[in-house]
Amino acid sequence: MSHTSATLVAPAKPAIKPARPEFSSGPCPKRPGWSAEAVARIAFLGRSHRAAAPKAQLRDAIERTAKLLNVPADYRVGIVPASDTGAFEMAMWSMLGARPVDMLVWESFGQGWATDATKQLRLSDCRVLTAEYGALPELGEVRKDADICFTWNGTTSGARVPDADWIPADREGLTFCDATSAAFAQDLDWAKLDVTTFSWQKAMGGEGAHGVLILSPRAVERLESFTPDRPLPKIFRLTKGGKLIEGIFKGETINTPSMLCVADCVDALGWMEGIGGLQATRARADANYAALQAWVDRTDWIANLVADPAARSNTSVCLRITDPAVAALDDAGQRDFVKKLVKILETEEAAFDIGGYRDAPAGLRIWCGTTVDTADVEALTPWLDWAFAELRAKL
């Protein structure tokens, strides 16, 4: 029934809650069946990461990550400091400036990279192509001779690139792809990607503070042939004497990693391998998104923030409230409504951490990635309806 009518029929309070009400978009839910004890059993706690066994575990994590993601054999995969942010920053600071740059921005993280490029690196020939939250820039406008920096999946907007067909196959520049909420859940086109970054705490449900950096041969060539005109902190240095520091991509990390986090990564990799690898992890995210979107499609008070179905994320799903009474509120009023809605669900322990990102339009953001169970998404939606009706009745 329409919410413009005089009376609203409130749904009954649901009897069943999600078994795991964690729907945060970062850190994301742990894998089904996860336990701290299982991770601790394989963790080299109190050991030097330079010792043979811990270093072998780091290398094992790298090699299994590459295999699971179908990374080409001639690409390098390394574990670096400071999460996805550290991985992407070290690539930008080490490699940008050799040629023109096109920054693609449609959400907060892309905006952060653009700010770094224009205000910190102060690149002389740098275009910023932008779009509002929920949309994508004109991808066809990227320059063939430019380096391209973009997020594959906009974690804070719920909009992703549908494919990499817009990247010229005969490109002259490098592509820098922030894939932190896409890896293991979406189809990354490695032939079009030169620098790819992500973090363990997204689709893997791992612990934070560590990033993964994947380099194509073209990216390695840039590193070994280009010397940036800026100082590089130690944790950003990928070369020594003009040559790639190969040890970084063999488990010899730049600084001390948490071996507990490394063990947690290995635990997540083992789970993903056990359920069938990349095909299975992507299928789980697709099923979760489909369950949530099916509810959105039949519900008249809410909509996907992304209008184009082809550009909708299957991991960080962003929703906007379309109910006329709520939509008529000013921005502060809408944000207050969402805050109260999220609080009701948290108090009921039906959903944790599903408020939209602070810079995004007022709304919800529900993680539907690989580690979430579809049954929990299906159990969540009646609670969304109930909590909305409870709060809407007070307007």
Report the pLDDT value the prediction gives residue 292, as an integer from 0 to 100.
99
> pLDDT confidence of 8, banded at 50, 70, 90?
low
Crossing angle of helices 278-297/374-392, nearest 10°? 30
In this prediction, residue 5 carries a pLDDT of 40
The fraction of the chain above a pLDDT of 90, given in percent, is 97
pLDDT band, residue 10 (cuts 50/70/90): confident
Cβ neighbours around 295 below 10 Å, total: 18
CB 89 within 8 A of CB 197: no
CB contact set of 243 (below 8 Å; sequence gap of 6+): 224
pLDDT band at 200, cuts 50/70/90?
Answer: very high
Q: Where are the beta strands (DSSP E) in the chain?
A: 76-81, 101-105, 126-130, 147-151, 175-178, 195-199, 210-215, 239-240, 243-244, 302-304, 316-321, 364-367
In percent, how much of the chain has pLDDT > 70?
98
On the question of a cis peptide bond just before residue 27, with omega within 30 degrees of 0, the verdict is: yes
CA–CA gap between residue 2 and residue 11 (Å, rounded): 14
Mean pLDDT of 38-48: 98
In angstroms, the Cα distances linking 313 to 32, 134, 150, 151, 319 are 22, 10, 15, 12, 11
* DSSP-derived secondary structure letter, 118: I
The pLDDT of 4-32, averaged and rounded, is 87
> Which one, of 319, 374, 379, 303, lies nearest residue 345 by Cα?
379
Average confidence (pLDDT) over 14-20? 98
Average pLDDT over residues 261-281: 98
Q: Among the CATH numbers 3.40.640.10, 1.20.90.10, 3.30.1490.150, 2.20.25.570, which is that of 36-274?
A: 3.40.640.10
Which residues of 82-133 form beta strands (DSSP E)? 101-105, 126-130
In angstroms, the CA 337 to CA 11 distance is 19
Distance CA 117, CA 149 (A): 10
pLDDT of residue 3 exceeding 70, the answer is no
Give residue limits of the domains in the chain: 36-274, 277-392
Give the gyration radius of the chain's Cα atoms.
Answer: 22
C-alpha distance from residue 105 to each of 129, 176, 298 (Å): 6, 13, 31
Q: Report residue 246 CA to chain centroid gap.
A: 27
How far is 90 from 98, CA to CA, in rounded Å? 15
pLDDT (average), residues 112-131? 97
Q: What is the pLDDT of residues 327-371, one digit of tens each?
A: 999 999 999 999 999 999 999 999 999 999 999 999 999 999 999
- 277-392 CATH fold: Aspartate Aminotransferase, domain 1 (3.90.1150)
Backbone angles phi, psi at 54, to 5 degrees: -60, -40
| Average pLDDT, rounded, for the chain | 96
Among 204, 184, 198, 176, smallest CA distance to 29 is for 204
At 4 the pLDDT is 42
Q: In one letter, which amino acid is 290?
A: A
Structure-token pair, residue 256? 């001390």
Choose among 146, 144, 142: nearest CA to 98.
146
pLDDT > 50? residue 376 = yes
pLDDT in tens, 140-194: 999 999 999 999 999 999 999 999 999 999 999 999 999 999 999 999 999 999 9
Instruction: Tell which residue, 21, 7, 5, 12, has the closest CA to residue 390.
Output: 12
Residue 253 has pLDDT above 70, yes or no: yes
User: For the residues 377-382, what does the mean pLDDT come to?
Assistant: 98
* Span 46-70, pLDDT tens digits: 999 999 999 999 999 999 999 999 9
- What tokens appear for 147 in the block? 């380096």
